[in-house]
């Protein structure tokens, strides 16, 4: 694995850590923002509550102050003796004074012993013990407030204010008490509360509630009130005894010993903020989901890309290995072909000289048969190395497939079934049809051999348009129009180790069944020669599928014409023979002389080219080897075409490198033959060229 792939794989945990860091950062920022918004919302409502609490406290103070001033005026009248303290005159006077006080409903005069002296109406006066501060110790300039009490006649809750008074003689005469509705302390709040959750209550300093709708209250001890007044915090967040949390505004009226409490429910105050928090949380969640989804998709794409690169590297390694093996095999085949050429050539001439039916003739026949078997083996090796001398024709593929299946059907083992799914009617290829036939036959034969207990071999053919490059198991597929040809079996599949060596020559897993290991090597070479690609998919225990992608040819099929009989012997034409092996030049010259030709041999390609330049009209045809030092046969043909465009060139090769047939056609070679040459094959080729 290279460094780039390692980097891609190592970035996987980094991306997740980055995603987690983004999650924490986003959550932290959202939390801080929401916390700040919460503080701002509470601060805004606190400020509003503080203003309202101050205004209501001021309203209560003015109302109580007005009542106190009325009581002081009444006290002055009693001190000056202008107001009687008993009798009907006193009752009428008190009733008149009560009517002059807007909030006061009843006035009482109570003596120092707590007995009622007079009243503005027949309503019992509150007990002196209900007042705070206590009436016995109430200074002259102070005022006392009673607890709330029920007025049975008026059916409402009231409170009372009390001040000391002296009689006309200057002696302590008792207390003046004034009753007023407890709800009057709520002022404008009772008429129009500014929020549905707002609550107001008025308490005495000893904690007795005088009026209001607050039932569950915070602790309102003097120490906490003194602390808040000292720190000038009139609004604070408090948890009530029932567990609810409220904004609390507390203002004191020291003159009257009262506390004005105004509250708002935090749950209601933060309602809009809570909706925003929920929306923010949902947004953060969506963003995080999108982020993690993006990271997941990115990592999956990276992983797929890394796996594709690994597959590509493995495929390139296999291709490079096969090319190296092909080059090596081709080089060996080239030298072996030269040996076979001498054996076949001289063997045929010796056979001609041997008496018919003699032991010598029979022995030479066996030698030639062995040489031809060697030639067949070399041809298979050259097919793998893509270096054979092949013809290129335009041909239809379906007739070849039908021919293969027909031949296989006659030799099927019991339990083996052949299925065909051909959907490529009229599809044509350019290449050697014999090679294509052999490749299909090899694949089908291997598929049947992979199922010793029987099974189904499926052969499919279809047209395929490839829009983007693909990485296959053993090739790369370029964009274009292809014929897809696949052969699938139901065997045991291919192991990973075998997959690495699948197309190597002489590699086989069936040595016990006398496998040669050249079948798939030939398939690989044929596919490469046709400029195609091959893909192998295998599942252990379920079988394998070999798919060939062969470029579709859009050219028309060549017109067929009946073969004309040709004369296999020459009429003294001069032929140039070129090979870097002197023995093969001599052999070819001797064979050509026996066919009534006049051969001129060369072992130096540059000297041969110069001879052609000097006298191009002298030679009727050129017979040249491909692989030669200094100048190859195709290169010589290219140079020859500059001054002799019509001169026939017969290229003979044992191994000419990859794609020899296509290179020879492009160079202007007239005909290509493979070594070793049989005399009849050479005679027929020359007769056709010179006809």
* The pLDDT value given to residue 7: 53
Q: Is residue 281, in this structure, part of any structural domain at all?
A: no
The overall pTM is greater than 0.85: no
Give the pLDDT confidence score for residue 599 in this predicted structure.
94
pLDDT, one tens digit per residue, over 477-513 is 889 999 999 999 988 888 877 777 777 776 776 654 5
**Residue among 530, 313, 539 at smallest CA distance from 429:** 530
3-state secondary structure 169-198: CCCEEEEEEEEEEHHHHHCHHHHCCCCCCC
Task: Report how far residue 165's alpha carbon sits from residue 175's, in angstroms, rounded to the nearest whole number.
Answer: 6
| One domain for residues 532 and 585 | no
pLDDT attached to residue 331: 62
Q: What is the pLDDT of residue 323?
A: 62
Bridge-based pairing state of the strands 156-166 and 172-181: antiparallel
Q: Mark which of 206, 240, 269 sits at the end of a domain.
A: 269
Question: 619 and 510 in one domain?
Answer: no
Q: What are the CA-CA distances from residue 266 to residues 4, 43, 107, 272 (Å)?
A: 58, 12, 42, 11
Owning domain of residue 488: 390-551
Do 68 and 203 lie in a common domain?
Answer: yes
Q: What CA–CA distance (Å, rounded) separates 131 from 138?
A: 10
Examine residue 142 and state whether it is found in any structural domain, yes or no.
yes
Shared domain check, 202 and 110: yes
Q: What is the largest CA-CA distance in the chain?
A: 184
Q: Are 41 and 152 in a shared domain?
A: yes
Is the separation of the CB atoms in 60 and 68 below 8 Å? no
Per-residue DSSP letter, 668: T
Query: How many beta carbons lie within 10 A of that of residue 569, not counting itself?
Result: 11
- Counted residue by residue, the chain has a size of 691
Last residue of a domain, one of 251, 269, 287: 269
Per-residue pLDDT at 234:
57
Last residue of a domain, one of 238, 269, 300: 269
* DSSP tag of 137: G
**CB-count exposure of residue 350 (10 Å: 0-12, 13-18, 19+):** middle
Does 547 lie in the same domain as 443?
yes
Angle in degrees, 0-180, between the axes of helices 3-79 and 87-100, rounded to the nearest 10: 140
Structural domain contains residue 42 = yes
Report CA-CA distances (Å) from 564 to 306, 572, 688: 60, 22, 10
Residues 6+ apart with CB under 8 A from 10: none
The three-class DSSP label of residue 648 is coil
d(CA 283, CA 349): 94
* Long-range interactions of 289-298: CB distance < 8 A, separation 24+: 291/19, 291/22, 291/23, 292/19, 295/15, 295/16, 295/18, 295/19, 298/15
Looking at the fold, whether 93 and 242 belong to one and the same domain comes out as: yes
CATH number at residue 606: 3.40.50.2300
Query: Of all residues in the chain, what percent carry a pLDDT higher than 70?
Result: 82
Q: Report which of 491, 466, 606 is spatially closest to residue 546, judged by C-alpha positions.
A: 491
Nearest by Cα to 438 from 518, 505, 510, 502: 518
Euclidean distance between CA atoms 592 and 598, whole angstroms: 7
What pLDDT, on the 0 to 100 scale, is given for residue 603? 92
First to last CA, the chain: 61
- Indicate if 136 and 262 belong to the same structural domain: yes
71 with 195, same domain: the answer is: yes
In a domain, 507, yes or no: yes
Looking at residue 448, which CATH number applies to its domain?
3.30.565.10
> Does 158 fall in a domain?
yes
**Residue 65 counted as domain residue:** yes
236 falls within a domain: yes
Beta-carbon count within 10 A of 272 CB:
11
Residue 61's pLDDT is 92
Cα(396)–Cα(428) distance, integer angstroms: 4
**Residues 407/443, Cβ–Cβ less than 8 Å:** no
- The total number of structural domains that make up the chain: 3
Residues 528 and 660 in one domain: no
Nearby residues of 352 by Cβ (< 8 Å), 6 or more positions away:
none
How far apart CA 225 and CA 1 sit, in angstroms, is 76
> Is residue 100 located within the same domain as residue 206?
yes
Segments of the chain with pLDDT less than 50: 1-2, 5-6, 8-9, 216-217, 220-233, 386-389, 512, 514, 564
Question: H/E/C letters for each residue in 194-216?
Answer: CCCCCEEEEEECCCCEEEECCCC
- The pLDDT assigned to 228 comes to 45
Question: Which tokens hold the place of 126?
Answer: 């509150």
Q: For tokens 């013809």, what's the residue?
A: 391
Question: Do 113 and 58 fall into the same domain?
Answer: yes
The answer to the question of residue 583 being in a domain is: yes
Residue 580 CB neighbour total at 10 angstroms = 17
């Amino acid at each position: 694995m290279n460094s780039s792939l390692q980097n891609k794989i190592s970035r996987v945990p980094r991306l997740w850590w980055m995603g987690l860091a983004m999650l924490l950062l986003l959550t932290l920022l959202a939390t801080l923002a929401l916390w700040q918004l919460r503080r701002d919302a509470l601060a805004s409502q606190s400020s509003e509550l503080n203003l309202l609490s101050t205004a209501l406290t001021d309203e209560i103070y003015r109302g109580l102050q007005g009542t106190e001033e009325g009581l002081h005026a009444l006290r002055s009248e009693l001190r000056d003796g202008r107001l009687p303290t008993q009798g009907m005159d006193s009752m009428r006077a008190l009733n008149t004074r009560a009517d002059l006080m807007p909030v006061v409903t009843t006035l009482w005069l109570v003596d120092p012993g707590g007995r009622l002296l007079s009243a503005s109406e027949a309503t019992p006066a509150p007990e002196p013990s209900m007042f705070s501060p206590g009436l016995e110790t109430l200074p002259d300039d102070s005022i006392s407030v009673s607890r709330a009490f029920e007025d049975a006649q008026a059916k409402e809750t009231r409170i009372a204010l009390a001040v000391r008074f002296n009689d006309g003689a200057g002696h302590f005469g008792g207390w003046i008490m004034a009753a007023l509705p407890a709800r009057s302390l709520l002022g404008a709040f009772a008429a129009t509360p500014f929020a549905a959750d707002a609550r107001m209550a008025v308490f005495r300093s000893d904690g007795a509630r005088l009026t209001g709708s607050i039932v569950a209250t915070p602790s309102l001890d003097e120490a906490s009130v003194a602390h808040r007044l000292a720190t000038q915090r009139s609004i604070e967040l408090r948890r009530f005894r029932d567990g609810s949390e409220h904004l609390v505004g507390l203002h004191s009226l020291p003159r009257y010993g009262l506390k004005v409490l105004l509250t708002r429910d935090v749950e209601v105050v933060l309602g809009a903020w809570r909706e925003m928090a929920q929306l923010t949380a949902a947004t953060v969640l969506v963003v995080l989901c999108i982020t993690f989804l993006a990271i997941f998709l990115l990592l999956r794409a990276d992983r797929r890309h890394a796996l594709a690169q690994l597959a590509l590297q493995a495929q390139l390694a296999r291709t490079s290995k096969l090319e190296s093996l092909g080059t090596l095999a081709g080089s060996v085949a080239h030298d072996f072909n030269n040996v076979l050429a001498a054996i076949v050539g001289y063997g045929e001439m010796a056979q001609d000289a041997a008496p018919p039916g003699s032991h010598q003739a029979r022995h030479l026949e066996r030698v030639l048969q062995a040489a031809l078997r060697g030639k067949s083996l070399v041809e298979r090796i050259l097919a793998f190395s893509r270096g054979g001398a092949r013809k290129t024709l335009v041909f239809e593929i379906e007739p070849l497939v039908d021919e293969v299946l027909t031949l296989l059907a006659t030799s099927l083992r019991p339990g083996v079934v052949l299925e065909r799914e051909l959907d490529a009617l009229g599809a044509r290829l350019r290449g050697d049809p014999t090679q294509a036939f052999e490749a299909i036959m090899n694949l089908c034969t291997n598929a049947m051999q992979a199922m010793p207990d029987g099974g189904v071999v499926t052969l499919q053919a279809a047209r395929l348009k490839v829009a983007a490059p693909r990485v296959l198991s053993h090739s790369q597929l370029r964009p274009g129009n292809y014929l897809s040809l696949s052969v699938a079996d139901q065997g045991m599949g291919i192991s990973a180790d075998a997959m690495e060596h699948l197309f190597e020559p002489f590699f086989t897993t069936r040595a016990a069944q006398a496998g040669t290991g050249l079948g798939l090597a030939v398939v690989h070479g044929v596919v490469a020669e046709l400029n195609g690609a091959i893909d192998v998919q295998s599942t252990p225990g379920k079988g394998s599928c070999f798919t060939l992608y062969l470029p579709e040819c859009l050219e028309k099929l060549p017109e067929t014409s009946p073969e004309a009989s040709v004369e296999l012997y020459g009429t003294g034409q001069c032929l140039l023979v070129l090979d870097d092996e002197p023995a093969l030049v001599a052999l070819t010259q001797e064979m050509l002389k026996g066919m009534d030709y006049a051969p001129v041999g060369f072992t130096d390609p540059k000297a041969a080219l110069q001879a052609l330049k000097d006298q191009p009209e002298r030679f009727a045809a050129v017979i040249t080897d491909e692989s030669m030092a200094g100048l190859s046969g195709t290169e010589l043909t290219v140079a020859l075409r500059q001054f002799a465009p019509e001169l026939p060139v017969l290229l003979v090769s044992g191994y000419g490198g990859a794609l020899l047939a296509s290179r020879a056609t492009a160079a202007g070679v007239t005909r290509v033959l493979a070594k070793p040459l049989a005399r009849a094959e050479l005679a027929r080729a020359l007769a056709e060229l010179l006809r």
